[in-house]
Amino acid sequence: MEVQKVYVNPDNTAVIECPYCQATKVVHVGKFKGPRRRLKIRCTCNASLPVTFEFRRAYRKKTDLQGFYSKVRHAHAPGKIDVKDLSMKGVRFVTASPHTLRKGDEVIVKFTLDDRNRSKIERKGVVRWVKDREVGCRFSESAQYDKVFGFYLMS
């Protein structure tokens, strides 16, 4: 059976629905926060349900977009990036070449959406984590009022 991704509410509860009998159960899942792991939940109909819990506050869309990044406080040539996923609150990208980014650095990321209008996006963000050439950033300013960006994430 396919693993069911269950989104967690702000109060650390999740609603799990059995695909066999459609029974639902509200479960407190705060103790499962941290590294993602797969769990098996037993339903009242005796079905075993493999689940993972998604604690993110914003939907994350997988992408394959080209763009650039640059540090805010340092004068250097922009680096090429491949944007791997996006949310209203952040971005994960892979740099095309080695970089000097560190946790806490302020960056500007620019990329073009693959929507009908080829919309240009530019966001300021803060580096949250770095693993080799892969970088996770949280956007500084909120993109929640950007209709183009929001529509893209929901399509």
Number of residues assigned to the chain: 155
65: its two tokens:
């977009």
Average pLDDT, 10 consecutive residues per value, the chain (155 residues) = 78 86 86 76 90 76 94 84 92 94 94 94 93 92 70 80
d(CA 142, CA 99): 26
What are the structural domains, with CATH classification, of the chain?
Answer: 4-54 (no CATH), 61-154 (2.40.10.220)
Q: Three-class SS of residue 119?
A: coil
Query: Is the CB of residue 111 less than 8 Å from the CB of residue 83?
Result: yes
Say what the pTM is.
Answer: 0.66
Report the largest interatomic distance among the alpha carbons of the chain, rounded to a whole angstrom.
62
Q: Three-class SS of residue 82?
A: strand
Q: Three-class SS of residue 54?
A: strand
C-alpha radius of gyration, the chain, whole number: 19
Helices assigned H by DSSP within the chain: 147-154
The string of pLDDT tens digits covering residues 55-100 is: 766 667 899 999 999 998 877 789 999 999 998 889 999 999 999 9
